Amino acid sequence: MKLRISLIQMSVDSRNPDANLKKAAEMLEEASKLSPDVIVLPELWITGYCDDLKEAWIYTNSADELLKAFASSHSCFIFGGTLPSLENGNLYNECRVYSPEGLVGIYRKIHLIPLLNEHRIFTPGSFLGVFDFLGLRWGTVICYDIRFPELMRELVKLGAEIIVIPAEWPESRIEHWKTLLRARAIENQVFIAACNAVSPDQSLGGNSMVIDPWGEPEGILGKSEGILCCEINVEKVGEVRKKLPVLDDLVS
């Protein structure tokens, strides 16, 4: 079974959510020209880490409407990066997954990064991100989550074959990004689709990529805004796990 996955590596301006929304709409249209089955956006693409995320969440409804309508009109699935989501007075860094029929489900970032004082802004999530569509089980984690291998291992134990990662990863730690993504793919024998952002001040590192279960890149972007579309053969997950059955030797 083959699938096309498109990653939208957009330049996020934390001072201008309206411009971010317009740009996302334009890049979604551009990505659709290659008829992807799944499209992925980066973390906090509509607001960035702006000065007052607790106020900026008001833009979430506009972003939600855009993504829901696009998935419906273009018959595709969308991992909507992340959006600030307010519930019962708590703000979450939330990934929403859309199908042509509507919302599939959500995942809220569990590990909040101290360097950005995320814990002062967001409430950590409390459940795993696992979704079933296109005949596959998908998992998702968000940015800093990738530094915690046990989280992604839990997704694999639940049957995930492709793990999608929206991020706003900095240029200053971009080599960690590259190494961690390959490690997570290799140790779990899954596809990784990791969508990072870039920024006008070049503080975000880009390098969005799709990695196969053997740890080899299927495609990678540089440090500029762009769209990566990769066609992957999902059967490679089973082939790699049969060739090197690491997961059969887990010790509980």
Kindly report the CA angle at 72 between 132 and 230, in degrees rounded to 5? 60
The amino acid at residue 162 is I
- Judge whether 169 and 194 are in contact, CB under 8 Å: no
Per-residue tokens: 8: 């939208």
Instruction: Give the span between the Cα atoms of 186 and 184, in whole angstroms.
Output: 6
Cα separations in angstroms, 136 against 132, 159, 175, 233, 237:
6, 9, 30, 12, 11
- Judge whether 39 and 3 are in contact, CB under 8 Å: no
Instruction: Give the span between the Cα atoms of 175 and 183, in whole angstroms.
Output: 12
* Burial label, 226 (beta-carbon count in 10 A; 0-12, 13-18, 19+): middle
- Judge whether 130 and 162 are in contact, CB under 8 Å: no
Rounded to 10 deg, the angle between the 174-188 and 149-157 helix axes is 30
Q: Quick one: which of 221, 195, 211 has its CA closest to 42?
A: 195
Q: What positions carry a catalytic annotation?
A: 43, 109, 143
SS3 12: coil
